[in-house]
Amino acid sequence: MMAAALTTAELEQILVREFPQSSHLDLEIEQAGDMTARLRMPINDSQLRPGGTVSGPTLFWLADVGLYVAVMAMVGPKTQSVTTSITVNFLRLPSTAGLIAEVKLLKLGRRLAVGEVSLFSDGMADPVAHVTGTYALPPEA
Amino acid sequence: MMAAALTTAELEQILVREFPQSSHLDLEIEQAGDMTARLRMPINDSQLRPGGTVSGPTLFWLADVGLYVAVMAMVGPKTQSVTTSITVNFLRLPSTAGLIAEVKLLKLGRRLAVGEVSLFSDGMADPVAHVTGTYALPPEA
Amino acid sequence: MMAAALTTAELEQILVREFPQSSHLDLEIEQAGDMTARLRMPINDSQLRPGGTVSGPTLFWLADVGLYVAVMAMVGPKTQSVTTSITVNFLRLPSTAGLIAEVKLLKLGRRLAVGEVSLFSDGMADPVAHVTGTYALPPEA
Amino acid sequence: MMAAALTTAELEQILVREFPQSSHLDLEIEQAGDMTARLRMPINDSQLRPGGTVSGPTLFWLADVGLYVAVMAMVGPKTQSVTTSITVNFLRLPSTAGLIAEVKLLKLGRRLAVGEVSLFSDGMADPVAHVTGTYALPPEA
């Protein structure tokens, strides 16, 4: 077990700076550290699609931010990190309830981090999407 | 060569209905049909990230819509189609110029369509991202 | 909880018929059913790469077969099922010990099954690769 | 246009050393350099599946080797390069004819190379699979 490099409050400050849109979204980092993270996000009308389901880019965004948070929680504020690839499998239509992201890092190397994210609609037992992603970490100064 | 099932004007009407957010985005379908599509989208401030680059979800969104347009152009308005998986490889930082999506369908079966999308910042020769995606088509009535 | 449609012995018989190469590989299905499966495979010299590590296609093969076994265990011998897409993230160099595949189905619909596989070298705590895959199931007769 | 760092004959020698199995496969590098490569491989019985089609791992293997060849042709014999992720979309059942891999590098950075591969059965116009993959390049000495 490794200690988290940043608290959830510090991580939320980084998010607001790096992802300015997130400040409108009431995104909450419930937990981050130990190679995992858990985020929660309410859904607003602009993220809905006809039929009352959450849009794909909203799912993508939450998974991407979730991986970023899980990595930053371990390595500190290396905001030069960039997503290099993401694969999303859409499993079920989300409800209009808030989204929960459960993030697990599969590898945290010096240069690459790889993680997976399960996305849930609040109150649904089965995930609405599964995401794997890779982050390139900046070289040591 | 197969004829397009829908004109670009008809496709833009479907987009406005199915992706209401797109009506704010001045998305333009330059061409659609023959297993390909080409879309163009200006970038506005809400899609930018610090440092002057386009956000990942914006790239994701344009690729997803591009695949949708290319499929609808071939099979008609089967708006029940759903994205089942998407893989994005981020290649270069986009500029703040508009985005261009070049879509090519690799397979159009009765039940599944698979395509790839190259995303460009207007004026850059090399792609900023490469996307492959799979769409599930609704069973015949 | 759903009962397994096939026993591990029945599944091993299907494998030998559908994947004739597997009969040389001493592949063992330790468990299958309830949306999961666990397989074990010894490594022989033809699967090694210089430096004493298992080749990528061997990892790919075991993950693909693992997903197939997990799906067959639930739906019965629908051997017309075909893999439609697979994403492999290579995490660590495998040792030359046997491989273990832990399979979990994320979705089992009428037409599509989606699952993830964690691959381990026997005796290593962290996975050597993570795989997500999609299977198209044949239409009902 | 960049000159190829290695000739096809030099690349075939590296393959035999790094992928010893390839020496049994009569793999032929038809072209490599300028961010592309083209490989050809006959199919033998051990690579077939019931029904007369080529196995998934064989397709995976050829795509992986094709990306490796395209990268080595540009950067020289950096045999410490490792595949970090691969996504395969299976499009059509291959015939039992030989396979052709058309490789195109999408990015060749200092640390990461990304490419795509279209796999064809000899004599079929449409691809049997489409592959994207990422290679991590070793740090400069």
Q: What is the pLDDT of residues B30-49, one digit of tens each?
A: 999 999 999 999 987 777 77
Task: Give the model's pLDDT for residue C1.
Answer: 44
Regions of chain D short of the pLDDT cut 70: 1-4, 21-24, 50, 140-141
- The verdict on C23 touching A (C-beta cutoff 8 Å) is no
pTM of the model: 0.93
Return the HEC string of chain B.
Answer: CCCCCCCHHHHHHHHHHHCHHHHHCCCEEEEEECCEEEEEECCCHHHEECCCEECHHHHHHHHHHHHHHHHHHHHCCCCCCEEEEEEEEECCCCCCCCEEEEEEEEEECCCEEEEEEEEEECCCCCCCEEEEEEEECCCCC
3-state secondary structure at position C56: helix
How far off is chain A from C119, nearest CA to CA, in Å?
Answer: 12
* Position A71 pLDDT exceeds 90: yes
- β-partners of residue D102 are D38, D118
Q: Which residues of A touch C134 (CB under 8 A)?
A: 89
Assess contact for A89 and B132: CB atoms under 8 A. no
User: What is the value of ipTM here, to two decimals?
Assistant: 0.91
Higher pLDDT, D126 or C79: D126
- The pLDDT confidence band at residue C24, using thresholds 50, 70 and 90, is low
Mutation pick from A83, A106, A112 vs chain D, by most beta carbons of D within 10 Å, is A112
Q: Decide: residue A125, CB within 10 A, 0-12 exposed, 13-18 middle, 19+ buried.
A: exposed
How far off is chain D from C138, nearest CA to CA, in Å?
Answer: 15
Say which range, A10-24, B102-116, D92-106, has the weakest mean pLDDT: A10-24
* Position C129 pLDDT exceeds 50: yes
Q: What is the share, in percent, of chain C residues with pLDDT greater than 70?
A: 91
- The pLDDT confidence band at residue A1, using thresholds 50, 70 and 90, is very low
Query: What span, in angstroms and rounded, lies between the C-alpha atoms of D98 and A105?
Result: 40
Say which range, B3-7, B33-37, B67-71, C84-88, has the weakest mean pLDDT: B3-7
* Position C28 pLDDT exceeds 80: yes
What residues contact D74, with CB distance under 8 A and at least 6 apart? D2, D4, D5, D33, D35, D105, D108
- The verdict on A92 touching C (C-beta cutoff 8 Å) is yes
Say which range, C55-69, C114-128, D17-31, has the weakest mean pLDDT: D17-31
Mutation pick from C47, C53, C60, C82 vs chain D, by most beta carbons of D within 10 Å, is C60
Task: Give the model's pLDDT for residue A141.
Answer: 53
For D96, phi and psi rounded to 5 degrees?
-90, 5
Query: What span, in angstroms and rounded, lies between the C-alpha atoms of D84 and C14?
Result: 32
CB nearest D85 (choices: A111, A134, A136): A134
Task: Give the model's pLDDT for residue A44.
Answer: 80
Assess contact for B28 and B41: CB atoms under 8 A. yes
The whole-number average pLDDT for the span A70-90 is 91
Single-letter amino acid code for the residue at A76: G
C87 and B87 within 8 Å at the Cβ level: the answer is yes
Mutation pick from B80, B81, B82, B84 vs chain C, by most beta carbons of C within 10 Å, is B84
The whole-number average pLDDT for the span C110-132 is 96
Task: Give the model's pLDDT for residue D23.
Answer: 66
* Position C70 pLDDT exceeds 90: yes
Domains of chain B by start residue, with CATH: 8-136 (3.10.129.10)
Task: Give the model's pLDDT for residue A134.
Answer: 96
Single-letter amino acid code for the residue at B137: L
Task: Give the model's pLDDT for residue C119.
Answer: 98
What residues contact B84, with CB distance under 8 A and at least 6 apart? A89, A90, B112, B134, B135, B136, C112, C114, C134
- β-partners of residue C16 are none
Q: Which residues of D touch A107 (CB under 8 A)?
A: none
B9 backbone φψ class: left, alpha, beta (φ>0; ψ -120 to 50)? alpha
* Position A101 pLDDT exceeds 90: yes
C-alpha pair distances (Å), C58 with each of B69, C11, C14, C98: 38, 20, 20, 11
For C13, phi and psi rounded to 5 degrees?
-65, -40
Q: Which residues of B touch A87 (CB under 8 A)?
A: 85-88
Tokens for C9, please give them.
Answer: 């012995």
Q: Decide: residue C52, CB within 10 A, 0-12 exposed, 13-18 middle, 19+ buried.
A: exposed
How far off is chain B from D42, nearest CA to CA, in Å?
Answer: 24
For A3, phi and psi rounded to 5 degrees?
-70, 150
Task: Give the model's pLDDT for residue C80.
Answer: 81
Say which range, A48-52, A55-59, C90-94, has the weakest mean pLDDT: A48-52
Chains linked to D by 3 or more Cβ pairs within 8 Å: A, B, C
Tokens for D68, please give them.
Answer: 């490796």
B134 and C87 within 8 Å at the Cβ level: the answer is no
B61 and A64 within 8 Å at the Cβ level: the answer is no
- The pLDDT confidence band at residue A64, using thresholds 50, 70 and 90, is very high
A136 and D112 within 8 Å at the Cβ level: the answer is yes
Task: Give the model's pLDDT for residue B1.
Answer: 44
- The verdict on A107 touching C (C-beta cutoff 8 Å) is yes
How does the average pLDDT of chain A come out, rounded?
89
